[in-house]
Amino acid sequence: MEELFSLAEKVLEGEKSLEELLSFPESLKERKKVENPFRRSALIVSGDRIKHLKKALIRNADVVILNVEDGVSPERKEFARIFIRKFLTNTPLDGSKEVVIRINGIETTYFYEDLFQLLPTIPHGIRLSKVESSEDVVALDRIIDAFERSRKIERGFIKIHLSIETGRAVESLNKILSASDRIEACYLGILDLFADLKLPQGFTKGSLGLYVREKFVLTCRSFNVHPIAPAFQEYEDLKGFEEEALLEKEMGFSGKMCISVKQAEIANRVFSPSEEELRRAKEIVEVYEKALAEGKGGVAYKGLFIDQPIYRDALNTLKYSSSSRS
């Protein structure tokens, strides 16, 4: 792999040609389903950032998003596609983290080339940017389905992630999330959304920004789709990032977009239950299951009446017990 990274750097420096990168050998490595069911942190890395990509898949993030959309200039999109393809094809995916490729929107001239070049890497997911309608999702789903059948890959291995970035998308979110059973995560691009609505960016932190977040979370949760909170652009302000993440956790987000490794570490902690919360959940499950075995429909526990909703909440909390301590 060092040879690939060295070649890619020389291409960017103009010492080697793109054709030489294109001819670099590909050997598809093992692909395993994602074992970690959480999306506390979604770390995004642009496909032309060679130094960052070197360590991207060993970073402590639940989701690693390799980006060929915003953040990659038009002049470098072809390079980013080719490099990500060579990098991922020659890298095994062991399922310990989710590897997703963020492609350009369906209305762009880059969409089909993105899929043509990058689907053969067989990532865990494709994140479609600037989704506007259910038709966008149906089109992507059919392309992925045809690809999986042609390669004899188990149907549904490649999931769909969506970026919600326009007013039209927010208003059509119910229909969008109904369009495919591959959809597992949805990202709120609130800065793009407010730009589309011709609203000042400062409003994203006010009451309207809170309303948009709440509406987004409720809709996603209704379809059993993970809502992922927006990126925090002030990457050096880690305190501000944590404060925003704590608020978004209370709103019901599953995790948060991250643009740095330090942000990902904070997101993992914020969106995981504490040791005390895990201990309490374990006790609730034990007490309630004992009550059920004795033929009781509910039981008192430290001043709390435990019935099915409380029990199910405790079970959901315990899902983190083996994966959230990292």
In angstroms and rounded to an integer, the radius of gyration of the C-alpha atoms of the chain is 21
With 50 as the cut, is the pLDDT of residue 100 above it?
yes
Give dist(CA 145, CA 261) in Å, integer.
33
Q: Is residue 294 part of a domain?
A: yes
- Give per-residue pLDDT as tens, 209-226: 999 999 999 999 999 999
Give dist(CA 185, CA 283) in Å, integer.
31
Give dist(CA 244, CA 258) in Å, integer.
12
For 40, other C-beta atoms within 10 Å of its C-beta total 29
Phi, psi of 265 (to 5 degrees): -65, -40
CB 226 within 8 A of CB 254: yes
pLDDT band of 290, cuts 50, 70, 90: confident
Question: Mean pLDDT in the chain?
Answer: 93
Q: How many domains does the chain have?
A: 2
pLDDT of residue 325: 41
Shared-domain flag, residues 174 and 189: yes
Q: For residue 124, give the CATH number of its domain.
A: 3.20.20.60
* Cross-strand bridge partners of residue 159: 125
With 80 as the cut, is the pLDDT of residue 319 above it?
no
Shared-domain flag, residues 240 and 297: no
Shared-domain flag, residues 81 and 167: yes
Shared-domain flag, residues 115 and 246: yes
- Give per-residue pLDDT as tens, 152-202: 999 999 999 999 999 999 999 999 999 999 999 999 999 999 999 999 999
pLDDT of residue 265: 96
Q: Is residue 312 part of a domain?
A: yes
For 87, other C-beta atoms within 10 Å of its C-beta total 22
**What is the span of the domain harbouring residue 252?**
2-272
Q: Is residue 313 part of a domain?
A: yes
In order, the DSSP letters of 300-313 are EETTEEE-HHHHHH
Handedness of CA 114, 120, 121, 126 (dihedral sign): positive
Shared-domain flag, residues 247 and 292: no
DSSP 31: B
pLDDT of residue 232: 96
Q: Is residue 324 part of a domain?
A: no
Shared-domain flag, residues 59 and 170: yes
pLDDT of residue 322: 55
Q: Over the range 106-144, which residues count as b (16 or more CB within 10 Å of their CB) and which as e?
A: bebebbebbbebbbebbbbbbbbbbbbebebbeebbebb
Q: Is residue 310 part of a domain?
A: yes
For 227, other C-beta atoms within 10 Å of its C-beta total 24
pLDDT of residue 326: 43
Shared-domain flag, residues 119 and 207: yes
